[in-house]
Amino acid sequence: MSIPPSHGERRRGRTTMRRAAEGVVLAFIYVCGWLAIIILAAIALFLILNSVRALNEAGLGSMLSGTAWYPTSNPGKFGMLPLILGSLLVTAVALVVSVPLGVAAAVFISEFSGTGVKDIMKSIIEFMAAVPSVVYGLIGVAVVIPLVKDVFALNSGMTALAGGIVLGVMSLPTVISISEDALHAVPFDLRQGSAALGNTRWQTTYKVTIPAASSGIFAAVMLGLGRAIGETMAVLMLTGNAAIMPTSVLESVRTMTGTIAAEMGEVVQGGLHYSVLFAVGLVLFVITFAINLAADLVLEGQRKRWRR
């Protein structure tokens, strides 16, 4: 009686060619896997390399503490403080708008609404996140600037307030979706335990769920902050871009992002001003990196907490 061969032997499995092809694909997979680190390192590297001239000639300390930003005067003055404070002021306004509204909406979506309402809310948030920032800027120009001008009887509505309001709306999707995730992640047992003690839905929410999700909500605020501080187009179109030390939200301010966007088109490549703009980018990169790192660590901690 003879034995039929199995296909494995008949085909001799994988040929050398196929193995080589698989090796190539595998190499690609590994390279792509590591690409995120490579790109992030490259971003840092290019920012630093291009900032070298600014750091040498203008000096980091005097740039960070300088209060005068006159890049085109001779010699140029590169005090970034007005820009940094401008960014912070606009961001602060944005947070005042987005945090209460966003967190409350997240509580409603997570705790008080059924599947249908949830789906609708999620689509709406998805839509808000999808609207390009330049369009928010345009709406700000058409609606918010005149409004601010009229309400506060100003000469111009292009103010930190106008930029901040629009920025707040723009960071709503981030704040809502991350807070909602955090609330959603609180284990069902925990809420049930509280409900079993005779607590109402809201008592459970503010005594148990919100404290349990607090670190996630904090991370949401951080990420909303990161998003607001890094936003460019809307603030560029709305804040009036006066590079002066801000004293009130009803004045025109100039942000770091807006400065880069507005001035990069007019500088000499490789010149000092060009280099200083990269230094502004570097400062921005460091700030957002720190914010995101912190938010990430907080979220990671929360994930670990609910794992078992």
Beta bridge partners of 253: 240
Residues 6+ apart with CB under 8 A from 282: 47, 48, 51
Q: Smallest Cα–Cα separation from 166: which of 158, 178, 156, 177?
A: 158
Binding-site member from 88, 95, 176, 183 for other proteins (CB under 8 A): 176
Specify the stretch interacting with other proteins by CB under 8 A; choose among 35-43, 55-63, 75-83, 146-154.
35-43
Least separation in angstroms between CB 78 and other proteins: 16
DSSP conformational letter for 259: H
Q: Does residue 266 belong to the site contacting other proteins (CB under 8 A)? A: no
Q: Does residue 189 belong to the site contacting other proteins (CB under 8 A)? A: no
Q: Residue 204 and residue 210: Cα distance in Å, rounded?
A: 9
Q: Does residue 104 belong to the site contacting other proteins (CB under 8 A)? A: yes
Q: Does residue 306 belong to the site contacting other proteins (CB under 8 A)? A: no
Binding-site member from 237, 243, 249, 253 for other proteins (CB under 8 A): 237
- What is the x/- site pattern for other proteins, positions 130-169, by CB under 8 A? xxxxxxxxxx-xxx-------------------------x
Q: Residue 109 and residue 113: Cα distance in Å, rounded?
A: 5
Q: Residue 95 and residue 164: Cα distance in Å, rounded?
A: 8
Q: What is the largest CA-CA distance in the chain?
A: 103
Binding-site member from 16, 17, 36, 189 for other proteins (CB under 8 A): 36
Residue type, 4: P
Specify the stretch interacting with other proteins by CB under 8 A; choose among 66-74, 145-153, 181-189, 199-207.
199-207
Residue number with CB closer to other proteins (213 or 236):
236
- Collapsing DSSP to helix, strand or coil, 203 comes out as helix
Residue number with CB closer to other proteins (135 or 247):
135
DSSP conformational letter for 178: H
Residue number with CB closer to other proteins (13 or 247):
13
